[in-house]
Structure 1
């Protein structure tokens, strides 16, 4: 495995961990409120669909940036 793929995997893991930490921090601060909107938000964030979308976003975000950089380098040439 080349260094590029290793770094890409590390960046993906970092994005996932940052997203999870932000989400858990928001949930922690919203726990003290018991209103209906907050309860539905907590149910949404703890659902599988939300985490699937976070995972897909964490994978596709860096990959799209890497693709744009790769295309720019390819067009520019050696």
Structure 2
């Protein structure tokens, strides 16, 4: 949240970019990994980032992630 607030307060010259790693798309797996967030929390964060960092001309931020399979 502090990073998102800082990005909103200091808009970049280019399209904003935020990297949000994804450890699993399964709540059951996240629980077994002892993670404090769930899939819904991750999706909520994506929505907040989109709402906060979409440019005045409607250009959405670039959101990237890592997905580890195996």
Please give the range of the TM-score, normalised by the shorter of the 2 chains: 0.3 to 0.5
The structure with the largest strand share of the pair is: 2
The structure with the largest helix share of the pair is: 1
Using structure 2 for the length normalisation, give the TM-score.
Answer: 0.32
